[in-house]
């Protein structure tokens, strides 16, 4: 068992640690913090702002619009939206009504988009007009969708088979808050589907309370802080960031898509003191020209994955702040970390208060310190972890077997309970901050009539994470080339999941029971026979330009 860190006395400053479970819900927290902080700024976007007092009223009006449209407790409301105030209020309004928000990856296309819409059973989809064409490749008859509301005028891009209209105007009516429980699902967030189709993680009100509280305590967030994020609201990090601000009296600055060239000017303009850097954002920023603009800001700390020692040194020298690492996932909350200034380079930290973290072997037997194993966790508080995967009970049972959530991550525990991350146990691919399902990539490749078999796998990237490579076996007589295969993928895969490297091979290495030997392909890597999309100058269309 891993010993927990001690966050006292800092954790007692908020007055929000230890709230009764019924106070850990969106309606209760919005009301409580409105009374505590009143006209202090809570949310800012490039186009709008809300104080602590204003946000509950705006959410109640948004909830009234949903209710008038037929949305009731337990209904799922999907969204295809970039970061904007309407999307945040939509998520909170679902929680206000006891409904469930399903913010979707705006890059989702083809089978991947159809799967999440079908699996969630969403009755209503709220979309920006620019994303409506994505529905053209989705079979409307296979979905439960009754309405599509747009945040803006409906144009010629609206697909056939859907009832599309602008979102009804706000008439000033406020819906009363529902009797919501801490274990009620607030959002369903879809993971990358590394071992099959994407899984919808059921995140409760209480889970996001604990998630936000844990990170806020580690970063020592106070009402004087401004939290800047350009991470999308369909990822748990951006949702958690809002709860960090809500629970501490800080300001949540929600920006558009990450832009390396404009990152520092946006940080300065926002007045940020805390920011969030995940995945390849750090090496991408370090590749930009150095200059005094990189220190012309108020940021004191960033939350994210700590880089290797050399990059950590460069970052401190150039930017003037540190990356404070912790371990969190969509299913878990923030479960491993260290107090600010007490971390160890190369380690995630120790177990957070309220969580029991162990390292186990393949039989779920705890292994000795220094022995690699899978990290598993359970919570001491009710509903502090996700409740499961929506509509797939068999996958929930597998992940929560023996009453511990299995993270799928290989770690080593050292003396004193310090945990060091080693690798994913699955065939997942992580490219520039996005988790990619090899299953989904292969599904699209195999749907091409000229492809006999295919395997997608990770190869190293010069940016420090992965690139997607595909080994493809063509059918006899096929004239398909690599460029043509990429063009086929464009409307069917998120742009970041389209393989960079493609190698046509005579056969895939297989196990005795018919599975592809992915390890062998990864070790073989990018050969001289592989085609490089970037070297060939093939550019991919990217939906949703930075705001």
DSSP assignment letter at 4:
B
Same domain, 209 and 176: no
Same domain, 251 and 361: yes
Residues near 247 by beta carbon (within 8 Å), at least 6 away in sequence: 14, 16, 29, 33, 209, 212, 213, 216
Question: Can you give the pLDDT at residue 193?
Answer: 55
Same domain, 214 and 93: no
Count how many residues are written for the chain: 547
CATH of the domain at 351: 3.40.50.12780
Same domain, 237 and 145: no
Contact 207, 229 (CB under 8 A): no
413 occurs within a structural domain: no
Residues near 425 by beta carbon (within 8 Å), at least 6 away in sequence: 374, 408, 409, 410
Can you tell me the distance from the alpha carbon of 374 to that of 379, in angstroms, rounded to the nearest whole number?
A: 17
Can you tell me the distance from the alpha carbon of 52 to that of 385, in angstroms, rounded to the nearest whole number?
A: 27
* Secondary structure class of 388 (helix, strand, coil): coil
Please identify which residue in the block is written with the tokens 């990358």: 192
Helix axes of 236-248 and 26-37: crossing angle, nearest 10 degrees = 40
Q: Which helix (H) or strand (E) holds 421?
A: strand 419-424
Burial of 2 (0-12, 13-18, 19+ CB in 10 A): buried
Looking at the structure of the chain, the number of domains it has is 3
196 occurs within a structural domain: no
CB atoms within 10 A of CB 304: 19
Domain that holds residue 56: 26-31+51-180
Same domain, 131 and 235: no
41 occurs within a structural domain: no
CA quadruple 364, 369, 375, 381: dihedral sign = positive
Q: Please list the pLDDT of the chain residue by residue as tens digits (547 residues).
A: 555 666 654 445 667 888 999 999 999 999 999 999 999 999 999 999 999 999 999 999 999 999 999 999 999 999 999 999 999 999 999 999 999 999 999 988 888 899 999 999 999 999 999 999 999 889 898 999 999 999 988 876 678 889 999 999 999 999 999 999 999 999 999 986 545 678 999 999 999 999 999 999 999 999 999 999 999 999 999 999 999 999 999 999 999 999 999 999 999 999 999 999 987 788 788 878 999 999 999 999 999 877 666 677 888 899 999 889 899 999 999 999 999 988 888 889 999 999 999 999 999 999 999 998 999 999 999 999 999 999 999 999 999 999 999 999 888 999 899 998 876 776 768 787 777 777 778 878 988 889 988 999 999 888 778 899 999 999 899 999 999 999 999 988 888 999 999 999 999 987 544 578 888 899 899 999 999 999 999 888 876 544 3
CATH of the domain at 59: 3.40.50.980
38 occurs within a structural domain: no
Instruction: State both tokens at 307.
Output: 């880089």
Same domain, 507 and 359: no
CATH of the domain at 512: 3.30.300.30
Can you tell me the distance from the alpha carbon of 113 to that of 23, in angstroms, rounded to the nearest whole number?
A: 35
492 occurs within a structural domain: yes
Q: What is the pTM of this model?
A: 0.84
195 occurs within a structural domain: no
Same domain, 463 and 361: no
Same domain, 249 and 374: yes
Same domain, 213 and 175: no
Question: Can you give the pLDDT at residue 196?
Answer: 62
Same domain, 158 and 294: no
Asked if the peptide bond before residue 308 counts as cis, ω within 30 degrees of 0, the response is no
Number of H helices, E strands in the chain: 13, 27
Residues near 82 by beta carbon (within 8 Å), at least 6 away in sequence: 106, 128, 232, 256, 257, 544, 547
Question: Can you give the pLDDT at residue 57?
Answer: 98
405 occurs within a structural domain: no
Same domain, 338 and 434: no
Residue finishing a domain among 377, 397, 417: 397
Question: Can you give the pLDDT at residue 547?
Answer: 37
Residue finishing a domain among 124, 147, 180: 180
408 occurs within a structural domain: no
Same domain, 328 and 458: no
Please identify which residue in the block is written with the tokens 């502090």: 384
């Amino acid at each position: 068992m891993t010993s927990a860190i001690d966050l006292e006395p800092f954790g007692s400053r908020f007055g929000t640690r230890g709230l009764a479970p019924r106070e850990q819900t969106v309606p209760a927290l919005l009301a409580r913090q409105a009374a505590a902080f009143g006209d202090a700024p809570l949310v800012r976007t490039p186009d709008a702002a809300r104080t602590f007092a204003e946000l509950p009223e705006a959410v109640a009006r948004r909830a009234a619009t949903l209710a008038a449209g037929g949305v009731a407790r337990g209904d799922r409301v999907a969204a295809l939206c970039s970061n904007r105030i309407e999307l945040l209020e939509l998520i909170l309004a679902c929680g206000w009504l006891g409904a469930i928000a399903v913010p979707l990856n705006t890059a989702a296309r083809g089978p991947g988009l159809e799967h999440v819409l079908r699996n969630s059973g969403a009755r209503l989809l709220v979309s920006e007009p620019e994303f409506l064409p994505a529905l053209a490749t989705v079979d409307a008859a296979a979905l439960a969708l009754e309405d599509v509301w747009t945040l803006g005028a409906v144009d010629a891009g609206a697909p056939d088979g859907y009832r599309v209209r602008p979102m009804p105007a706000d008439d000033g009516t406020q819906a009363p808050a529902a009797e919501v429980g801490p274990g009620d699902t607030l959002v369903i967030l879809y993971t990358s589907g590394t071992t099959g189709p994407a899984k919808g993680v059921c995140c409760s009100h209480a889970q996001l309370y604990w998630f936000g509280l844990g990170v806020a305590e580690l970063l020592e967030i106070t009402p004087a802080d401004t939290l800047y994020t350009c991470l999308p609201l369909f990822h748990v990090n951006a949702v958690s960031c809002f709860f960090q601000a809500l629970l501490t009296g800080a300001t949540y600055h929600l920006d558009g898509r990450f832009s390396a060239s404009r990152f520092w000017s946006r940080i300065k303009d926002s007045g940020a003191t805390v920011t969030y850097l995940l995945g390849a954002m750090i090496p991408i920023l370090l590749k930009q020209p150095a200059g005094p603009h990189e220190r012309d800001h108020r940021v004191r700390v960033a939350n994210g994955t700590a880089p290797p020692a050399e990059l950590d040194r460069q970052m401190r020298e150039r930017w003037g702040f540190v990356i404070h690492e912790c371990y969190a996932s969509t299913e878990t909350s923030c479960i491993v970390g260290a107090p600010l200034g007490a971390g160890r380079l190369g380690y995630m930290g120790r177990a957070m208060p309220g969580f029991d973290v162990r390292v186990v072997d393949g039989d779920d037997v705890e292994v000795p310190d220094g022995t690699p194993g899978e990290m598993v966790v359970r919570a001491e508080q009710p509903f502090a972890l996700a409740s499961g995967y929506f509509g797939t009970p068999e996958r929930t049972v597998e992940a929560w077997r023996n009453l511990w959530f299995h993270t799928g991550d290989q770690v080593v525990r050292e003396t004193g309970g310090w945990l060091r991350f080693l690798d994913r146990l699955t065939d997942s691919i992580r490219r520039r901050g996005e988790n990619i399902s090899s299953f989904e990539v292969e599904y699209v490749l195999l749907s091409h009539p000229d492809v006999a078999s295919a395997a997608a796998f990770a190869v190293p990237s010069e940016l420090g994470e992965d690139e997607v490579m595909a080994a493809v076996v063509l059918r006899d007589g096929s004239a398909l080339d690599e460029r043509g295969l990429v063009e086929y993928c464009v409307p069917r895969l998120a742009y970041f999941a389209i393989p960079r490297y493609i190698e046509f091979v005579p056969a895939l290495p297989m196990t005795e029971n018919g599975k592809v030997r992915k390890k062998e392909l990864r070790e073989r890597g990018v050969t001289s026979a592989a085609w490089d999309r970037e070297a060939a100058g093939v550019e991919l269309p990217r939906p949703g330009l930075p705001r």
